[in-house]
Amino acid sequence: MPLSSCRVRPTCLIVIPALNESATIAEVVACTRAAIDCPILVVSDASKDDTADRARAAGAEVLVLPTRLGAWGAIQTGLRWAWRQGYTQVLTLDADGQHPPEALPRLRERLAVSDVVIGTCPQRLSLAKRIAWAYFRMLTRLRVIDVTSGLRAYGESAISLLARPEASLLDYQDIGVLLLLSGQGLRLEELPVAMQPRQCGRSRVFSNWFQVSRYMIHTTVLCLARIKRRLPAGAPS
């Protein structure tokens, strides 16, 4: 059922960012619908394939971005849509099949005591990533093991904060987002989850050495800047 036709809107929305994920998006949507009874919004990040059509056919609402914004831009689009529609919880997962939809109810349950819940799978991290994350944890003092996991649950306070224009300045959903959340005193929690290897495609950040170098430099500068300034009260514009 289209989200716009729901008479009584549920409190929770599933947001799935997708870039050229036609090979997996239908299965991810179907498995998510089977795992949890929440509306699903797929945000197609200017995909060049039929990701949007397959997502709709599988039962999801779809937003198609005319210009590629990156994974965080797509997720923030979903968060802003959820905020304006009155949702108080947003669950996110990747469209490539890595994240188990059956973990979503567990993440949602933990929102009763936390503002943000991150599905964590340290076993999936390579040695290089483990070293990188340890380096960033040292700089930021964030107590998060898997900083790049897109399997997350956001409560109302986190949605409101991340839907604001200030969060649009971030390129990635990891360090910058976590610093922004923790800097405002929100409670972050990690929940161990078993994940699957990527079925196809490759990481947007770790696709080549240029991207890795750019990410490390960008994130180091962000860590040193330590986003600490308070945001003004009020809803996102």
> What pLDDT is stored for residue 208 in this prediction?
56
Query: Per-residue pLDDT averaged across 200-229, rounded?
Result: 60
Q: Check whether 129 has a pLDDT greater than 80.
A: no
Q: Which of 154, 156, 141, 157 is closest to 189 using CA atoms?
A: 154
Q: Check whether 173 has a pLDDT greater than 90.
A: no
> What pLDDT is stored for residue 142 in this prediction?
82
The lowest-confidence range among 39-53, 73-87, 120-134 is: 120-134
> What pLDDT is stored for residue 147 in this prediction?
82
Tell me the pLDDT tens digit for each residue of 21-57: 999 999 999 999 999 999 999 999 999 999 999 999 9
> What pLDDT is stored for residue 68 in this prediction?
94
> What pLDDT is stored for residue 122 in this prediction?
72
> Model-level pTM?
0.83
> What pLDDT is stored for residue 179 in this prediction?
85
> What pLDDT is stored for residue 99 in this prediction?
95
> What pLDDT is stored for residue 79 in this prediction?
97
> Which of 51-55, 120-124, 179-183 is modeled with the greatest confidence?
51-55
One-letter amino acid for residue 107 of the chain: L
Q: Check whether 231 has a pLDDT greater than 70.
A: no
- SS3 sequence of the chain: CCHHHCCCCCCEEEEEEECCCCCCHHHHHHHHHHHCCCCEEEEECCCCCCHHHHHHHCCCEEEECCCCCHHHHHHHHHHHHHHHHCCCEEEECCCCCCCCHHHHHHHHHHCCCCCEEEEECHHHCCHHHHHHHHHHHHHHCCCCCCCCCCCEEECHHHHHHHCCHHHHHCCCCCHHHHHHHHHCCCCEEEEECCCCCCCCCCCCCCCCHHHHHHHHHHHHHHHHHCCCCCCCCCCCC
Tell me the pLDDT tens digit for each residue of 105-119: 999 999 999 999 999
Q: Check whether 144 has a pLDDT greater than 50.
A: yes
Percentage of residues of the chain with pLDDT beyond 70:
75
What token pair was written down for 135? Answer: 């380096």
User: For residues 93 and 120, what is the distance between their CA atoms, to the nearest angstrom?
Assistant: 12
Tokens 């997962």 locate to 93
Task: List all residues 6 or more positions away from 26 whose beta carbon is below 8 Å from its beta carbon.
Answer: 54, 55, 57, 58
Query: Per-residue pLDDT averaged across 78-83, rounded?
Result: 97
On average, the pLDDT of the chain sits at 84
**Ramachandran bin of 36, using left for φ above 0, alpha for ψ from -120 to 50, beta for the remaining angles:** beta
What token pair was written down for 123? Answer: 């076993």
> What pLDDT is stored for residue 23 in this prediction?
97
- What strand order describes the sheet that includes 12-18? 61-64, 40-44, 12-18, 89-92, 152-154, 116-120, 188-192
**Ramachandran bin of 92, using left for φ above 0, alpha for ψ from -120 to 50, beta for the remaining angles:** beta
Query: Per-residue pLDDT averaged across 138-167, rounded?
Result: 89
Neighbours of 7 (CB within 10 A): 4
